[in-house]
A and B are shown apart, each in its own frame.
Chain A
Amino acid sequence: MNVTEETTESELPEEDSDALAMMEIETSEQVTVYDSGSEIRQPLTLFRNIHADFLAGRELAWRLFLRNLRGMYRQTALGLFWAFLPPVANTAIWVFLRQVGVFQLGGDIEVNGTVYILTGMILWQTFVEAFQMPMKVVTQNRAMISKLRFPREALLSVGLGEIFFDLAIRCLLLIPAFLSYQVMPGPMILLAIPLAILMILFASGLGMLLMPIGSLYQDVGRFIQLAMPFWMILTPIIYVAGTDFGGQLMVWLNPAAPLIVLARDLILLNESAFWLPGLLVSAISIPLFLFGLAVFRISIPVIVERMQAF
C-alpha cells in the first residue's frame, strides 16, 4: 500500500453512493459443483457437456479464428500468399531432388510425379497439423487457459477450423497442377473428401491423447519435432507405396499412412490397393476422436495446476 497514493485518491471527490445506477444482472438458477471426482465416471453427461461447450464456444472460436488469421497476415506484405507458399516450396524441393536423381518415385503409376508428390504432401501436412493441433492450441493459449474459465472446446474448434482452412487453400493449388499436368480425377475423388475429414479426426484424436503428457513433459514435443522428418520418409508420400509384403507392412504399421495413401490413390488413380487398412483406420477415427475429446477435457484442470505458480 502506498500512503501518498491513498491520500491522493482520498482527495478526489467521491460520487454519491445514492447515485449508483440500476443495471440488469444475468441471473440463472443453474447450480455448478466442483469436487475431486472425475467427469469420466458419467460418460453420457461428459459427452453432453462437451457438446454443450462446443456449442457455447462457437462465437469465441470464430473470434479467435479470425484473430489468428488476421494477426498472422496483417504485418506481412504478401498477405494470404503465405498460406500457399509452404506446400509449394516443400513440393518443389522434393520434385527437384527427384529430378536430380536423389530418389526414385518407384512403382508404376499413370500420373505425373509432381502432382503425385504435391497431393501426398498436402495430405501429409494436414495430418501433421491435425496431430500437433491439440498441443499447439494449449501451448498458444496457456495464459488464457490458466486464468479464465471458458469452453475449452472452443480452442479445438479454432484448431480444427484452421486445419480445414489450410487444407482448402492447399487444395486450390491442385487445380492449376491438375490442369497443367493434364490430370483428370475420377468419381472416386468424392470419397476422398470424407476420408480427408476422417484423417483429420484420427490425427487430432491421437494428438488429444498425447496432449496431456506433452503439456507436462516437453520431451514429447521435442521428440515429435525430431521424429517428424523420419515419419514422413516412412510414409509413402515422395514414393509410391509398394503392394508387396514389405510395402503393405509399411502402410499397416504406420498410423499416418493408410488414410493418406487411400485418399491420394482415390484422388489421382481412382482406385487403390489399400482399401482395407484405410477403411480400418476410418472406422476407428471417430471413436478415437471422441475418446481424445474426453481425455482433453478432463486433463485440462490437471495441466492448469502445473502451468503456473499458486
Chain B
Amino acid sequence: MPDEQTILDVSNVTKVYCRNLKRAMRYGLYDLGREVLGRGKDREPGKLRPGEFLSVKDANFSIGPGECVAMIGPNGAGKSTMLKMINGLIKPDMGRIQIRGKIGALIELGTGFNPVLSGRENIYINAAVLGLSKRQVDEVFDKIVDFSELPHVIDAPVKTYSSGMRVRLGFSVAANLRPQLLLIDEVLAVGDVGFRMKCFKHLRTLVANGVSIILVTHAIGMLQRVATRSIVFNHGRIVHDGELEAGCAVYEEVLGASERERVERRQSAARAAEVANAFVVSHDGEESKEFHTGDVVQLRIQLTSQEKVHNARIVAALCSPTLGVLASISTAHQNFVFDIDPATHPDGVWVTLELPRLPFLIGAFHFNISLYGPETTEFYHRRSACANFRVVGPPVDVDGRGISGVVGLEHSWSIES
C-alpha cells in the first residue's frame, strides 16, 4: 500500500494494444460487451489475443509531492500510454493506479479552441476544458494575456494567429492549473526560446510549491532544467527509475541498441572480413561501461577474415544516439597500416584505439566501426552502435553555475589588469 505522502502509485500496471485495425475493432466490441456485463477487462497474465502486444508491461513506481519525474524512451516504448492511464483516459488491463489529490494535464495546448472566435473567447473555452471556472479565469485573465505576450491580438480570431501564437495562448491558460499532480506530454517545445525559458521557470515554480510533475518528452536536453528523476521505458518495460542523468544515459543506450539492431538486420551475414567484436576498456585494461570526463578510454576491436586482407583500414566513429557522429577517426590518418591474415591469426587480429583524455560530459556514447581494404570502394563490414559506454560524471549544471553541454573543454578564466 502507498504511504500517505505518495501522490501517485502505479502498481503492476499492464496495458495491451492491437496494431491490426480490424482485430482492434473486434476486440473493442468484445471488451465493450464485457464492460456492460460488469466483467471488466482483467485478464490472465501473459494471455494475449492474436495480434495483441504489451504496450506497458508490469509497471511499478510511485511519486511523492514536489517531485518532477521525466518519463523518457523511444517512440512506442509505452510512456504516452502510461500517461493516458494515469490521466484516466484509458483503463489498465491489469494492475492499479492510485492518485491522491487533484490531477491536471497539459497534453495538448489550446484544446477546444474555435478558430473563428477571438483569443479572448477561446481563453474562457480552453480554461473550461481544463477545469477552470469563469470566476477563476476572470481573476487571472490579464495575467494570461500578459504571459502569452499577445495583448495586441487578443480580440482577433484565433485563425489569424500563427501556430506558435496559438500554443503560447494555450500554455498561458494551462499555466494557471494548480493541481497536486501535473501531467505534461511533449508540449514544452513551444514558442521561441524566450517563451520556452518562461515555461520552464513556471514549471520550476510549480515544483518548488509542491506540485508533482510527470513530464513525457524526447527532448532530453531540456529535462535538466526541471526534472530530478527519470523513468525510462523501452518496449513497454521500465528499464530505469532513478537519477535523471543516469536515465538519460540509459535512454541514449536504448536508442543506440535499436539503431544497432536495424543496421545488423540490413547487412548480409556472409562477408569476407568483419568486425567480429568491439568493446571499451579502462586504463587498467578491464572492460568497462562507465567512465568520467577526462578518463583514458581504449577501444579494442577484433577483426576476422576468411582471406588475407592486405593494408586493412578502420574508420571508427564516436557517436551519441541523440546527436549523431561526434568524431570520426581512421587508421589511415596516422598511417597505421596492418593486415588481417587468417593464416597467422586464425582467431583474428586485435586493434586498439586509445583516447587518452575523454572529452565528453555526462551521456551515453557508442562507436560505429567500419572495416575497409586500402581502396575507398573496398568495404567489408560495419558494426554499428557497438562498444557503448556511459560518462557518469562529474555532474553537469544548467543553471549557469557549472559546466554543461556535450564536451568538457579545458579552459581557464582571467581578467586583464
Contacts and interface: CB of A to CB of B under 8 A. Distances in A.
A1 B323 contact: yes
B38 interface: yes
Interface in A142-180: 143-150
Interface string B388-417: 000000000011100011100000000000
Interface stretch (B199-207, B270-278, B286-294, B349-357): B199-207
B81 interface: yes
Contacts of A67: 112, 114, 117, 121, 125
Interface stretch (B102-110, B258-266, B308-316): B102-110
B121 A40 contact: no
A20 B204 CA distance: 7
Given A34-B85, A149-B88, A26 B178 contact: yes
B42 A36 contact: yes
B323 A5 contact: no
B178 A35 contact: no
A30 B102 contact: yes
A20 B134 CA distance: 27
A31 interface: yes
A252 B211 CA distance: 59
A54 to B, nearest CB: 15
Contacts of A40: 35-38
B133 A59 contact: yes
Interface in A174-220: 212-213, 216-217
Given A5-B193, A24-B178, A63 B128 contact: yes
Contacts of B322: 1
Interface in B117-171: 117, 121, 124-125, 128-131, 133-134
B95 A35 contact: yes
B210 A301 contact: no
Contacts of A29: 100-101
Contacts of A64: 112, 125, 128
B396 to A, nearest CB: 11
Interface stretch (A11-19, A261-269, A280-288): A11-19
Interface stretch (A85-93, A120-128, A242-250, A302-310): A302-310
Interface string B17-34: 100000011001101101
B38 A41 contact: yes
Interface in B70-87: 76, 78, 80-81, 84-87
A7 B221 CA distance: 10
A310 B208 contact: no
Contacts of B17: 305, 310
A285 B122 CA distance: 36
A33 interface: yes
Contacts of B405: 6-7, 10
A310 B134 contact: no
23 contacts: A1-B218, A6-B405, A9-B197, A20-B208, A23-B209, A27-B101, A28-B101, A30-B102, A32-B98, A32-B99, A33-B99, A34-B88, A40-B36, A62-B128, A63-B125, A67-B112, A144-B129, A148-B107, A148-B130, A299-B32, A306-B24, A306-B25, A310-B80
B40 A38 contact: yes
Contact of A35 (B55, B80, B91): B91
A110 B279 CA distance: 97
Contacts of B400: 10, 13-14
Contacts of A71: 114, 116-117
Most buried by B among A1, A21, A28: A1
A62 B219 CA distance: 38
A161 to B, nearest CB: 14
B25 A38 contact: no
A222 interface: no
Contact of B205 (A14, A23, A74, A295): A23
A14 B96 CA distance: 40
A31 B98 contact: yes
A8 B91 contact: no
Contact of A150 (B32, B42, B131, B206): B131
Contacts of A60: 128-129, 131
Contact of B111 (A15, A148, A298): A148
B92 A147 contact: no
Interface in B241-287: none
A216 B27 CA distance: 10
Contacts of B32: 212-213, 216, 299, 302
B180 interface: yes
Most A Cβ at <10 Å: residue of B28, B39, B92, B103: B28
A30 B359 CA distance: 51
Nearest to A14: B400
Closest 8 CB pairs of A and B: A63-B128, A36-B42, A71-B114, A37-B40, A38-B40, A34-B97, A60-B128, A20-B205
Nearest to B84: A304
Given A26-B180, A32-B103, A67-B125, A310 B78 contact: yes
B408 to A, nearest CB: 14
Given A8-B193, A67-B121, A302-B35, A30 B128 contact: no
A98 B219 CA distance: 67
A8 to B, nearest CB: 6
Nearest to A18: B208
B93 A36 contact: yes
A36 B97 CA distance: 10
A6 B105 CA distance: 26
Contacts of A68: 114
Given A20-B201, A23-B178, A67-B121, A1 B220 contact: yes
B89 interface: yes
Contacts of B97: 33-35
B325 interface: no
B112 A302 contact: no
B381 to A, nearest CB: 30
Given A60-B129, A148-B108, A38 B38 contact: yes
Contacts of A213: 29, 32
Contacts of B220: 1
Contacts of B80: 310
Given A6-B221, A70-B121, A301-B89, A149 B103 contact: yes
